[in-house]
């Protein structure tokens, strides 16, 4: 229709109003027969319009306009077609994308399903393998149990047979031992009776000879004394009868008394000056150095002659054998001793140390052994001696460090109870003199020294001034001894207090009992075994080394309190129980804030 009548395909002219259009459109609807779908009115209008155009003088322009409108319409249709093609292409692309996305989702779903299937199969395989392994393990356990039962039956049978054989052997040995014991007893009784008779005869003869010698010596000395007093009597008689000799004697005695007095006072002044200049400082309580240079040389020579064996033992690394410590602590102490010795040989600066722990745990003894093993001189002072000095404390501190430099081997200065004057300077209880003494020590220890090893011992390390702890290179804790260490300490002190004393008593000359009453010998029964000592070590938990030494000293006193001087396990256990109760009572009194008792 638009091809043959292009005019009708164009939009209506602008002059036509919507009302006319609506009326023209609504009219055919009213006139159109109900049984037909074709509208002839449009054809009539088209024919009428065509006739009007042909009769119009502007028909050419109208047709040109119609052609332009047709071209425009065709261009619009082409643009619509292109747009529809683009929309169709975009729809195709989206459809392809949706298909690709669906395919990718399908592949992912298939991969996930396949992975889940593989995991499930792997889990089933692991469960099956675990079930097989568990069954095999149960089988092996049952097999091992059966083998163990068989071995146990065989072992019980073998043990029963061996016990029967050993019982027969023990019975035989017991009978043989009884026979031998009876034989030895009879033989020993005969020998003892013979020795007693011989000793009695020998002692009577020796006593008779000694009495004869003593009587001769007494007569000789009495004659000498009588002669001497006779000469003195003659001299006094001569002086009393001769006036000139009496005046000379009185004047000489007066001059001698004046000379003695002058010499004594001069020697006292000179001795005080030498003591101040060269002597050992008054704060030093114990030292391996002599009080004066010559005295130190003589004492070193004496120690070198008499203690060569001890020195060789110290060089051999056994200087700490008499000190019972925990193995790890003892190893560290030996390492420090070797390091100090090597530091001295290489002329390097010494390292200062601090020992802290409960009282009586061996801090002083370890410091002395370190000095001995490292080849240094040893000096000990107590912090409590500084406070009474007042303003003289600073001078005494400087004297100690100046005196320490006189040692050719180097000096280990051990300060016991260091917290007594090295406490925190912010304390309100610290006097100005104590603060000055602390500052003096800090001044002398500001740099590392090649002459002095400073070792501090304290029960309260938290009270020390921060500047003091800053000068410490090694901090070592000395705890209370454990059960094994207490067992070793008990054995050591029992050996020192009881057994060695008896050995020293036996080594004295046999004739010494003639001038001094011989004490009764201590006998240690065989029932005091290591098991009894180990039980005592277990009960003495919380004891320090000093308390264990006092315990053994109490055992020694208990032995001396018996008439027969016999130490058995019963007496040892009684004293241990008593000392353990004392220790617990002391702890209770300290915890209650009461004044503790002084125990021996």
Asked whether this chain's domains 303-479 and 484-510+519-591 adopt the same fold, the reply is no
Name the strand (E) or helix (H) holding 381.
strand 377-382
Range from 151-160, 248-257, 305-314, 549-558 carrying the lowest mean pLDDT: 305-314
**Is the per-residue pLDDT at 240 higher than 70?**
yes
CB contact at 8 A, 525 and 567: yes
Cα separation, 305 vs 310, whole angstroms: 11
Question: What is d(CA 558, CA 554) in angstroms, rounded to the nearest whole number?
Answer: 6
Look up the CATH superfamily of 303-479. P-loop containing nucleotide triphosphate hydrolases (3.40.50.300)
Strand ranges across the sheet with 284-287 = 284-287, 377-382, 411-416, 452-458, 353-356, 474-477
- The pLDDT value given to residue 456: 93
**Position 512 pLDDT exceeds 70:** no
At residue 319's C-alpha, the angle toward residues 315 and 324, to 5°, is 160
| pLDDT given at position 428 | 61
pLDDT of residue 475: 93
Band of pLDDT at residue 508, cut at 50, 70 and 90 = low
- Residue pair 547/506 in contact (Cβ under 8 Å)? The answer is no
Q: What is the pLDDT of residues 106-115, one digit of tens each?
A: 999 999 999 9
Query: Regarding the domain delimited by 484-510+519-591, which CATH topology (the fold level of the hierarchy) does it fall under?
Result: Helicase, Ruva Protein; domain 3 (1.10.8)
CA 387 remoteness from chain centre: 33
pLDDT of residue 48: 83
Nearest to 290 by CA among 215, 228, 184, 377: 377
81-114 burial: b if 16+ Cβ within 10 Å, else e:
eeeeeeeeeeeeeeeeeeeeeeeeeeeeeeeeee
The Cα-based distances of 384 to 285, 414, 415, 419, 440 in angstroms read: 12, 13, 10, 9, 16
In DSSP notation, 227-275 reads HHHHHHHHHHHHHHH-HHHHHHHHHHHHHHHHHHHHHHHHHHHHHHHHH
Q: Minimum mean pLDDT among 173-177, 309-313, 464-468: which range? A: 309-313
Phi-psi region of 541 (alpha: psi -120 to 50; beta: other; left: phi over 0): beta
Report domain extents, the chain.
Answer: 1-26+40-55, 242-276, 303-479, 484-510+519-591
For the segment 128-151, the average pLDDT, to the nearest whole number, is: 91
């Amino acid at each position: 229709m638009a091809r043959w009548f292009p005019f009708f395909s164009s939009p209506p002219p602008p002059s036509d109003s919507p009302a006319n259009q609506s009326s023209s459109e609504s009219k055919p609807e009213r006139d159109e027969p109900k049984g037909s779908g074709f509208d002839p009115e449009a054809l009539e209008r088209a024919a009428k319009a065509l006739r009007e155009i042909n009769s119009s003088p502007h028909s050419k322009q109208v047709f040109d306009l119609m052609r332009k409108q047709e071209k425009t319409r065709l261009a619009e249709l082409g643009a619509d077609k292109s747009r529809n093609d683009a929309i169709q292409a975009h729809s195709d692309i989206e459809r392809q994308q949706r298909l690709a996305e669906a395919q990718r989702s399908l592949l992912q779903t298939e991969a996930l399903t396949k992975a889940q299937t593989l995991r499930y199969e792997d889990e089933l395989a692991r469960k099956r393998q675990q079930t097989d392994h568990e069954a095999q393990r149960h089988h092996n356990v049952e097999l091992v149990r059966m083998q163990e039962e068989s071995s146990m039956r065989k072992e019980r049978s073998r043990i029963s047979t061996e016990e029967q054989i050993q019982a027969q052997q023990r019975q035989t040995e017991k009978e043989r031992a009884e026979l031998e014991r009876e034989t030895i007893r009879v033989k020993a009784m005969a020998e003892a009776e013979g020795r007693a008779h011989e000793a009695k005869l020998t002692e009577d003869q020796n006593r008779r000879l000694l009495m004869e010698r003593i009587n001769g010596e007494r007569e000789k000395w009495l004659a000498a004394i009588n002669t001497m007093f006779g000469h003195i009597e003659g001299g006094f008689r001569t002086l009393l009868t001769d006036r000139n000799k009496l005046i000379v004697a009185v004047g000489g005695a007066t001059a001698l008394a004046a000379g003695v007095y002058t010499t004594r006072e001069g020697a006292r002044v000179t001795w005080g000056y030498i003591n101040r200049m060269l002597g050992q400082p008054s704060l030093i309580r114990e030292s391996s150095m002599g009080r004066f240079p010559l005295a130190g040389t003589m004492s070193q020579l004496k120690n070198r002659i008499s203690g060569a064996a001890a020195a060789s033992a110290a060089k051999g690394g056994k200087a700490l054998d008499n000190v019972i410590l925990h193995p790890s602590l003892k190893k560290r102490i030996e390492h420090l001793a070797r390091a100090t010795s090597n530091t001295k040989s290489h002329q390097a600066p010494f390292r200062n140390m601090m020992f802290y722990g409960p009282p009586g745990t061996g801090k002083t003894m370890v410091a002395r052994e370190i000095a001995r093993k490292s080849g240094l001189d040893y000096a000990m002072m107590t912090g409590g001696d500084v406070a009474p000095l007042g303003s003289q404390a600073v001078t005494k501190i400087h004297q100690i460090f100046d005196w320490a430099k006189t040692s050719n081997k180097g000096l280990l200065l051990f300060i016991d109870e260091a917290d007594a004057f090295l406490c925190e300077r912010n304390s309100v209880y610290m006097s100005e003199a104590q603060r000055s003494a602390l500052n003096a020590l800090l001044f002398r220890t500001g740099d590392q020294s090649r002459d002095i090893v400073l070792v501090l011992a304290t029960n309260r390390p938290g009270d020390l001034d921060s500047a003091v702890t800053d000068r410490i290179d090694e901090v070592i804790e000395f705890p209370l001894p454990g059960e094994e260490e207490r067992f070793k300490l008990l054995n050591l002190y029992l050996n020192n207090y009881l057994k060695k004393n008896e050995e020293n008593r036996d080594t004295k000359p046999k004739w010494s009992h003639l001038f001094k009453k011989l004490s009764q010998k201590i006998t240690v029964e065989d029932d005091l075994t290591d098991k009894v000592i180990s039980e005592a070590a277990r009960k003495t938990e919380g004891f320090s080394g000093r308390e264990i030494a006092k315990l053994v000293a109490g055992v020694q006193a208990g032995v001396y309190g018996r008439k027969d001087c016999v130490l058995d396990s019963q007496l040892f256990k009684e004293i241990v129980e008593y000392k353990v109760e004392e220790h617990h009572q002391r702890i209770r009194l300290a915890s209650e804030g009461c004044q503790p008792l002084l125990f021996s």
